[in-house]
């Protein structure tokens, strides 16, 4: 049993598959941090609190894409950089496409304040 586990642990296809899985999830979380940094949301967890259905759909879409990619690509032949970059971008894409949370409705005053803060002009 130990020999089988040692052989499995050194399998490049398994290692790349695990790295792909982790990087795709990291890319999905990065998109929430990206929105927080751009001040589109007040808290990173708001992406998951406001509309959990969209978040679940994004996770399911990301996992489905992961399974498809891992099943179809020769993971044992892919360089590590390709695995990391492809997976990270897939996670970002899955979240930005499928996680369409409900946005806050701004009043006219809030909209004017946001526009003046972005452009540096006052009305």
Alpha carbon 10 to chain centroid, angstroms: 28
**DSSP conformation letters of 37-90:** HTTSSSSTTHHHHS-HHHHHHHHHHHHHHHHHHHHHS-TTTS-HHHHHHHHHHH
Residue 122 has pLDDT above 60, yes or no: no
Residue 87 confidence (pLDDT): 95
pLDDT above 70 (res 123): no
Q: Where are the domains of the chain?
A: 2-119
Summarised one tens digit per residue, pLDDT across range 59-115 is 999 999 999 998 998 988 999 999 999 999 999 999 888 887 656 667 788 888 878
Whether residue 38 is predicted with pLDDT greater than 90 in this model: the reply is no
Give residue 101's pLDDT. Answer: 63
């Amino acid at each position: 049993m130990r020999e089988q586990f040692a052989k499995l642990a050194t399998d490049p296809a398994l290692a790349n598959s695990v790295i792909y899985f982790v990087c795709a999830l990291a890319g999905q979380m990065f998109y929430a941090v990206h929105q927080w940094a751009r001040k589109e949301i007040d808290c990173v967890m708001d992406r998951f609190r406001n509309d959990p259905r969209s978040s679940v759909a994004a996770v399911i879409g990301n996992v489905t894409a992961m399974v498809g990619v891992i099943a179809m690509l020769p993971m044992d032949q892919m360089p590590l950089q390709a695995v990391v970059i492809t997976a990270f971008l897939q996670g970002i894409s899955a979240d930005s496409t499928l996680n369409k949370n409900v946005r806050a409705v701004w009043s006219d005053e809030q909209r004017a304040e946001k526009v003046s803060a972005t452009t540096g002009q006052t009305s």
